[in-house]
Amino acid sequence: MLLQWEGVLLKHLRELAVNIGRRPTGSWNNQRAAAYLVDQLTASNLEVAQQPFPCLDWHRGEAVLVAPETKIPLRSADYSGPCDAKGPLVSIGTLTALQESCLRGSIVFLHGSLTAEALSPKNFRFYNPAAHQEILALLEEKQPAGIITPSLQSDQYISVIEDGDFSIPCAVIALDAVPALLHLAGSSVRLFIGSRRRASHGSNVLAKTGRQGPRAILTAHFDTKPDTPGALDNAVGTAALLTLAEYWQERPLTDSVELVFFNGEDYFSNPGETLYFDTVLQRPHDIRWAANVDGIGLRESSQGAAAFGWPAQWKTDLEQAYHQNGIVAMEPWQQGDHMLYVLNDIPTLAFTSVGIFDIVDSVVHTADDTLDLVEPTKVLQVVRCLDELVRKFV
Ligand SMILES: [Zn+2]
């Protein structure tokens, strides 16, 4: 593609990842980003619709545990409500201990088998083991004043519980501070978490070409985790689709294509995805194939895609489009918005940067996910490939 399209891509990238910046679902910035999408897509002569839903606007506050002779810094779990409570510190390391405990008014330190992995949020539809729900239900029943969990990683704060629907405030402690905390078990402590929850709303943005009939769907989520400008995750995918929409003004499509901008991939309960699953995907037979774009354009990384249920008769054309645009075929992975289509037996492609999986927690979900990680020409490789596929397969 010509230099002109790099300029268009950069315009959208800067607006999303710099001018708007962090845009967690339900926030003012998230609503600004949705309004930007509506404006841009309308200007590209697409039929634009929004799918609104209720959600939280969550603000992180500081968190600390105060004991008689020490203060231990904590980090508020994402989506936690506020807490300012004094009580005995109770250490609980097994399900049996949790079942037999009396916790009302206490500050609980959960660890051991209870915090071996992230617990699925109560209302998360797509993956929700009964064992996770049992732990959360027991905690809500026993009503401790607050919960502390060890981070899931040694070099940063990754919470076991991230759930805006969970009623008990939660904070995370760094792994190297765990011995000091265990030492305090039984003493009276004060847990302070300054985070706030506010009722808000968000919306998916859908845009289609005017034609009727079976369609291809290209998707990208535009929300971010709470503390990141989300350049790679996922201003790149959003800007790629906006660039395509402008490109189609100059080189019109003859077939039916829909662009779906999901809102909620990085929010605890995936509200936009769930709403879309329950509405549009109740009629999956209208959809010929789908492609999701998330995390493309990483500097010094190949661009890749994984195919799910891709029809045998389309394979040669797909390989050719990959080849012409330098796209590498990847092994399928199960996390991400592409799974909405896979679950409905729709032929699906998931595009990303091959190297992204190594930096998800260390870079992508942090404040370091900025535009200097993005190489625009690599994003345009995917844009070109998607344009070719749309012209081939609809
Ligand atoms: Zn993402």
Cα 337 to middle of ligand 1, angstroms = 8
Give dist(CA 178, CA 189) in Å, integer: 15
Residue range 332-378, pLDDT digits in tens: 999 999 999 999 999 999 999 999 999 988 889 899 999 999 999 99
> 113 CA to middle of ligand 1, Å?
29
Q: Which two tokens stand for residue 280?
A: 């549009």
Distance CA 185, CA 109 (A): 8
Domain of residue 277 covers 3-57+200-393
Does pLDDT of 1 surpass 60? no
| pLDDT tens readout for residues 129-183 | 999 999 999 999 999 999 999 999 998 899 999 999 999 999 999 999 999 999 9
The angle subtended at Cα 87 by Cα 82 and Cα 93, nearest 5°, is 90
- Given this model, what pLDDT does residue 367 score? 94
Residue 257 sits at the vertex; the CA angle it makes with 51 and 352, to the nearest 5 degrees, is 85
Same domain, yes or no, for 38 and 177?
no
Phi, psi of 97 (to 5 degrees): -60, -40
- Distance between Cα 135 and ligand 1 center (Å): 28
What spacing in Å lies between the alpha carbon of 91 and ligand 1's midpoint?
A: 35
Q: Summarize the confidence of residues 173-199 as an average pLDDT.
A: 97
Under a CB-based contact definition with an 8 Å cutoff, are residues 284 and 345 in contact? yes
Residue 67 and residue 39 share a domain: no
Mean confidence (pLDDT) of the chain: 96
254 and 315 inside one domain:
yes
pLDDT tier at 2 (50, 70, 90 boundaries)?
Answer: low
Sign of CA dihedral 209, 224, 78, 126: positive
Boundary-marking domain end, from 154, 170, 194: 194
Ligand 1 center to 295 CA (angstroms)? 6
Asked if residue 361 and residue 247 are part of one domain, the reply reads: yes
Q: Do 171 and 222 reside in the same domain of the chain? A: no
Please check whether residues 222 and 352 belong to one and the same domain.
yes
